[in-house]
Chains A and B, each alone.
Chain A
Amino acid sequence: MYRNQYSQQQRMNQPPRVLSTKDDAYLTDALSWELLAAKKAHSFASQCSDQQVKHQAEQLCELHQQHYNILLNHLSTNQQDYENQTYPHFHN
């Protein structure tokens, strides 16, 4: 039955822009990694006496915060796209 529905659709050459359960699991994992890394770098920066090491740690903290935001964005935009039903191949 599912297969019949499927064959009537145009064939997809790659998955649609839908977050899979696996994507969601990895995203939430990665968000935790980035937050931990940012906090660690910030904490180290405050403890460093060497200015170059301190600067490097601060840079890393910023980088991981940026990465956190990039990843988080995937959780919010995906939600909006679902609501707008922009996926012609998506079946419930």
Chain B
Amino acid sequence: MNNNRGSYGSYQQGYGGSSSPTIKNPSTQFEKGPEFNDRDRLNDLLATEKWLTDGFNVFVRETSHQDLYNDVLHILNETHHACRDVFNLMFEKGWYSVHPEQPSHIADHYQKYSGHQNQFPSQSTSSYNQYQTGVGQHPRDY
């Protein structure tokens, strides 16, 4: 849906406050008042999609037979994609911003958690797993 849009425009690298840059597009104009505006509508649609993924996540887990399981998982997946499209559009419109973590913090965490890999109980280094989409009992990959 929103995948092949052109350029997102240049990032605004505003440094608000200490050391946390903000990544966002210039904000698209919308009515700023008590009325329900386009940004509110998009936000509400996003909230709806998020709510649906919660519902379908429970549904797919509770299904009995395989055909129903497949279809509900398919719907769950597509609803996640719809969520993502709405989120991307909000970002594109400049109505959502991202705050990157400091690289030094990320590096510290990588250091710490790669150290925990030696706690892995299984010695197997195989990359095969039976739950990959398209393997074994999971006939459809999305």
Tell me how many residue pairs across A and B have CB atoms closer than 8 Å. Answer: 93
Chain B residues positioned under 8 Å from A20 (CB to CB): 64
Chain B residues positioned under 8 Å from A34 (CB to CB): 52
User: Which residues of chain B from 82 to 96 have any CB-CB distance to chain A below 8 Å in the complex?
Assistant: 82, 85-86, 89, 92-93
The majority secondary structure among interface residues of chain B is helix
Min distance, Cβ A89 to any Cβ of chain B, angstroms = 12
Establish whether residues A22 and B64, one from each chain, have CB atoms under 8 Å apart when the complex forms. Answer: yes
A residues whose Cβ falls under 8 Å from a Cβ of B: 14-20, 22-23, 26-27, 29-30, 33-34, 37, 40-41, 44, 47-50, 52-53, 56-57, 59-60, 63, 67, 70-71, 74
Closest 6 pairs between A and B when the two form their complex, measured CB to CB: A20-B64, A44-B41, A17-B65, A15-B64, A50-B38, A26-B59
B residues whose Cβ falls under 8 Å from a Cβ of A: 1-2, 28, 30, 36, 38, 41-42, 44-45, 48-49, 52, 55-56, 59, 62-68, 71-72, 74-75, 78-79, 82, 85-86, 89, 92-93
